[in-house]
Amino acid sequence: MEKILIIDDDESIRESLVNLLRRWKYRTVSAENGRQGIDLALSRTLTLLFLISGCLKWVDLKFWMNFKN
């Protein structure tokens, strides 16, 4: 089954997306910032990543652009 990482600094948006995807039978993990998201991505096998605009610094963005599963 697919595992999706959701990153957003707004808890209500993040949790709404997590709840929606779980209702659709996806497994999810979530992070409140880019740094936490990087840590989660490195420790798990992910199928998809949702990055919500504005939650990353340029350093984090460079990591995500080069991230390979």
Residues 6+ positions from 42 with CB-CB distance below 8 Å: none
Please report whether residue 13 resides in a domain. Answer: yes
**How far apart are the C-alpha atoms of 26 and 9, rounded to whole Å?**
21
User: Each residue of 15-47: pLDDT tens digit?
Assistant: 998 999 999 999 999 998 888 888 888 887 777
14, part of any domain: yes
The answer to whether position 28 is within a domain reads yes
The verdict on residue 33 lying in a domain is yes
Per-residue pLDDT, 50 = 66
pLDDT for position 52:
64
Sheet holding 48-51, edge to edge: 27-31, 3-7, 48-51
The answer to whether position 47 is within a domain reads yes
Looking at the structure of the chain, the number of domains it has is 1
Question: Domain residues for 24?
Answer: 3-54
List strand residue ranges (DSSP E) for the chain, in order: 3-7, 27-31, 48-51
**Mean pLDDT score, 64-69:** 56
CA separation (Å) from 49 to 4, 8? 6, 11
What pLDDT sits at residue 69? 47
Give the global pTM.
0.69
